[in-house]
Amino acid sequence: MNGSRSAAMPTGYTGTTHGAHHSHEPDIAGTNECAYTVVGGEPHEYRNITDSTGADAAGTTLGLGAFVAFFVDNYDIFLPVIALGPAIHYFVPKSLPPLTAAVTDAMIFATTLIGRPLGALIFGHFADTLGRKKVTVVCVFGFGITTLLIAALPGYQHWGSSVIWAFILLRLIDGVFLGGEYTAANPLAMEQCPKARRGFYGALIQSAASLGTAFIAVVTLVVLFFLPGGDLDSPYVQWGWRLPFVMGAVMAFALGIYYMRSVDESEAWEKAEKKGKTQSPLKTLFRGENLKSFMQVFVLMTGFWLLLNASLAMMPGLLARNMGIRGTDLTWTLVISYIVLAIVYVLGGVVSQRIGRRNYLMGSAVISAVLGTAAYYFLLNATPGDLSSIIWLATITTVLVVMPGALGCVYINERFHTGVRATGFGLGYSLAIILPAFYVFYQAGLAHFMPFKYTVLVLVVLGAALVFIGAAWGSETKDVDFDAPVPAIES
């Protein structure tokens, strides 16, 4: 080495260092870096796994695991909406007052979303203090068991209203484990990925969300084909709906075994652990520069969830009410849109690796606000019953509106240092869900000033603006070195 030269702390890390000098020197080939810290006059080398062949293999293994985990996560989330939808009267009888039935339906789905940030809060702490792998395994088996218990529930005709409360409680517990799973599994994968391919792996993991949703829709269609639904005594209503739930549990158990046998703990976390454990990741997250990073991520992700709801949550109802697209036609329209969105997500991750995360997020936010809003307008005014045109417009609209979400996984992980990464990612990703979840009330308020069907356009523009502001507020992160020493945090 030709001496040492000072280097600034990586962009994604926050806080200040105390009594440590850092330097980075290229190797002979000029392709790898070794990070050094000199503490008390003694140098300590940290091998940069992000550019090694071993890291590439580890990143592939963990990327696959995190992809499947996110896939199963979204499959599980939409089970009550998609798989149980044709059989909901098994738990919520038609004799219930309409308002009571509507509130019950909403609670069954919403409790899972409430459980996710709670799971991120609980298990994010343990993922930062005990290890990513251990928490991932516990959470995956946790939501697998919970999903299997739901599949075994009797109906309202056997337990009465008690089964509704049992269902809601199990879905809340399920949400807690789901929130813990991605809080641990995604940082674990990102910390082992080669730096030059983090954009690709992160977007691939994120694409699993839309693919999981598409898959549960296809599974439900197949089961309904062989076990038709209908009245309370029909095959699907009595036991056919259980098959997608059992499949979700089996996928979770297989995933848990995969993590136990094939996945190693994050080397970045292990090295940070040896240097000194972060005693309270949550307190550390909510002070100093970490708090600024969290607020920036919160603004950006609030915008993303608003865009996601404007497309994936609102579009099915609009297609059914305004376009007359229902049943199998509606399902296949959404499946095609989700599959194309997954492909665009992966391409977005690759592009961000070349132009930078910040530039991609800001650019895609502008595209969502302008082209996404325009595409949505044309979709809302499409000729009812023209299925081919509607499928094409729905797919284009979904892609243009939701494309900033490609970097949800990689960008948030790059914004926090190793000692608080799981907590920062989990809460940054999950807490931002809350405000956009009330989109129907925002639409109701906007409907006083404009036709209701166009209120979604305002939410698209607002969501895109928040993504743009959040990205502009933050710094570029694609060159952050996860393997660098963790900075000390000021009190």
Closest to 65 (Cα-Cα) out of 196, 210, 181, 200: 181
Residue 485 DSSP symbol? P
Residue 369 DSSP symbol? I
Q: Do 104 and 125 fall into the same domain?
A: yes
Q: Do residues 176 and 145 make contact, with C-beta atoms less than 8 angstroms apart? A: no
Q: Do 305 and 391 fall into the same domain?
A: yes
Give domain status of residue 390, yes or no. Answer: yes
Q: Do 202 and 238 fall into the same domain?
A: yes
- Residue with token string 């260092």: 17
Q: Do 38 and 85 fall into the same domain?
A: no
What is the number of structural domains in the chain?
2
Backbone angles phi, psi at 480, to 5 degrees: -60, 135
Distance between CA atoms of residues 368 and 357, nearest Å: 16
Give domain status of residue 325, yes or no. Answer: yes
Q: Do 235 and 307 fall into the same domain?
A: yes
Encode the chain (491 residues) as per-residue pLDDT tens digits.
Answer: 443 333 333 333 333 333 333 333 333 233 333 333 333 333 333 334 444 455 566 667 777 888 998 999 889 988 888 888 888 889 988 888 887 887 787 788 778 888 999 999 999 999 999 999 999 999 999 999 999 999 999 999 889 889 999 999 999 999 999 999 999 999 999 998 889 999 999 999 999 999 999 999 999 999 999 999 888 899 999 999 999 999 999 999 999 999 999 999 988 898 888 876 667 899 999 999 999 999 999 999 999 999 998 988 788 878 887 888 877 888 898 899 999 999 999 999 999 999 999 999 999 999 999 999 999 999 999 988 788 999 999 999 999 999 999 999 999 999 998 999 999 999 999 999 888 988 888 988 999 999 988 999 999 999 999 999 999 999 999 999 886 655 444 43
Q: Do 40 and 55 fall into the same domain?
A: no
Backbone angles phi, psi at 6, to 5 degrees: -70, 150
Q: Do 9 and 103 fall into the same domain?
A: no
How far does Cα 360 stand from its chain's mean position? 18
CB atoms within 10 A of CB 208: 23
Q: Do residues 425 and 412 make contact, with C-beta atoms less than 8 angstroms apart? A: yes
The domain that holds 265 is classified in CATH as 1.20.1250.20
Range of the structural domain that residue 10 is part of: 1-46
Distance between CA atoms of residues 151 and 157, nearest Å: 16
Q: Do 319 and 461 fall into the same domain?
A: yes
